Amino acid sequence: MEEFSLDSRVQITAITSGTHHFFGYYDKCPWSADGRRLLAHEADFIDRLPNGEEIACIGYFDLEKGTGFQKVAETRAWNWQQGSMLQWLGPSFDKLIIFNDLRDGKFVSVIFNIETRQEEKVIPFPVYAVHPDGTSALSLDFALLDEVREGYGYKGGDINPDDCIYSFNLWEEKPVKERIIYNFNVLRFKPLNYSDNERHWVDHITFNPSGGRFAFFHRWQVDNNGLYSQLCWASKSGKTIVTAPQVLLDSGMASHFSWFNNEEVVAWGRLPESKLSRASNKFAKNRVVRKLLLPMYHLLSPGLLKQKISGDSFIRFNIKSILPEGERVGEGLLTEDGHVSFSPDKQWLLTDTFDRKNHSRGLLLYHLRSKRKLGIDSFPTIPHGPVVPEWDSSVLRCDLHPRWNRDGTQICFDSVHKGTRQMYIADVRKIVNSYT
């Protein structure tokens, strides 16, 4: 394994090499409970989207033995942004894994025992979010998701428009699909740019730590000119659905989020009093004006000026409040959207950044109590070999998608800065220990 020093406190190690390796999204932990194994996908190309027939290998790296990629299975249901939803299956997080696959034209999920190298169970539904206790899961229509947002769903399956969000038990002999959210008209608050005539979908379903609630994005596209989002949360049964009205009602802008604890969420969004929100509201019904204004705004480089104009920031709010108002996190320091998560002790915010102009992605930490930002490093985003035009903004791109290990001392991320798609670990224990 290649190892190089960034400074006196951070050590970054290249865990993988050779053919392409990646884990998936930022909201799952690739480490086993004992920290010994690191889950990964392996693919032999990165210059196109998988077509539903192409295989990604499922396996892990033994961090103690350093024996290379240990293949245990294969999948045909995967993408570059979120993989196959590969993850450890709780509560022990040491032997069982779960991932999605395409079999006989149907998306399924597979529970696999990496000790016995055998399938424990094949479930006739794919998973999106697994309950923390490992007994049940939530899911959606991956074929529809790929159609409305190519590269985030899977190819090869049939679209079922009735599958908005549904749940099922992982361990029943014959799991039954229970649709728990199936009609967006049940949403209590609708932004000004909401239209029942547009196509609607959901993604990024995530349970809170206790599993009593889950959050998700309700999204819709307007004339192929704007992606609008509402961050919503619901009880486990889906019977109580709430949106974040004061935070996201008027702007229709919300991006990555993470549960801070069972009752608080931090999301990148736009407060309604911002200049851009007021302007977008004023012209919400004027699509011609919107088409002229939005490209001008997007030309601005990420940073403090863009934040001051838009009001976009990480916003923290308590979901138990009837009308959560939201509190900005890291205002003036955290000026870019990113894949945000929190250390197990809730002392640190971790995120990545994106510099389109310089074709790079940054990795940084923010100490919540002292309000101090610490940059770890910046990584080039253009790999060697054939890439599509606008690689950085395509779904083929390699976001860092940083993830904490289980004790908050290391960070795993994906990157193409060495020319191929690989997984890296940043050891940050000297940083986090210096703030205890």
Q: Does 279 reside within a domain?
A: no
Mean pLDDT is highest, among 178-182, 256-260, 309-313, for 256-260
Say if 1 falls within a structural domain. yes
Q: Look at residue 356 in the predicted model and tell me its pLDDT.
A: 72
Cβ 317 vs Cβ 264: under 8 Å: yes
| Helical ranges in 175-286 per DSSP H | 245-248, 275-282
Is the pLDDT assigned to residue 419 strictly greater than 70? Answer: yes
CA neighbor of 72 nearest in space, from 37, 35, 29, 20: 37
The alpha-carbon radius of gyration of the chain (Å, integer) is 21
Q: Check residue 303 and give its pLDDT.
A: 67
Cβ atoms of 398 and 431 within 8 Å: the answer is no
**Cβ 225 vs Cβ 294: under 8 Å:** yes
Residue 380 lies in a domain: yes
Q: Residue 312: which residues within 8 A CB-CB, separation 6 or more?
A: 253, 268, 269, 270, 274, 276, 306, 337
Residue 16 is predicted with a pLDDT of 95
Residue 192, class by beta-carbon neighbours within 10 Å (0-12 exposed, 13-18 middle, 19+ buried)?
middle
Task: Render pLDDT for 190-230 as a digit per residue (tens, 0 to 9).
Answer: 665 667 777 788 899 999 999 999 998 888 877 666 778 88
Q: How many CA atoms lie within 13 A of 348 on its CB side?
A: 26
Q: Which domain holds residue 404?
A: 1-26+345-436
Please report the pLDDT score of residue 283 as a whole number.
46
Q: What is the pLDDT of residue 5?
A: 38
- CB contact at 8 A, 193 and 279: no
Position 239 scores a pLDDT of 62
The verdict on residue 103 lying in a domain is no
Q: Report how far residue 400's alpha carbon sits from residue 412's, in angstroms, rounded to the nearest whole number.
A: 9
How many helices (H) does the chain have, and how many strands (E)?
6, 29
Asked whether the CA dihedral 151, 229, 87, 26 is positive or negative, the reply is positive
Residue 428 placed within a domain: yes
Question: pTM higher than 0.75, yes or no?
Answer: yes
Residue range 254-267: mean pLDDT, rounded = 93
pLDDT at 280 over 90: no
Q: Which of 329, 319, 323, 225 is nearest to 280 (CA)?
A: 225
Q: Which helix (H) or strand (E) holds 42?
A: strand 37-43
Of 198 and 123, more confident: 123
What number of residues does the chain have? 436
Q: How many CA atoms lie within 13 A of 320 on its CB side?
A: 5
Lowest mean pLDDT among 8-17, 102-111, 242-251, 393-402: 242-251
List all residues 6 or more positions away from 378 whose beta carbon is below 8 Å from its beta carbon.
355, 360, 361, 362, 363
Number of domains in the chain: 1
**125, part of any domain:** no
The pLDDT of residue 200: 83
- CA 326 to chain centroid, in Å, comes to 21
Asked if residue 374 is part of any domain, the answer here is yes
**Higher local confidence (pLDDT), 239 or 212:** 212
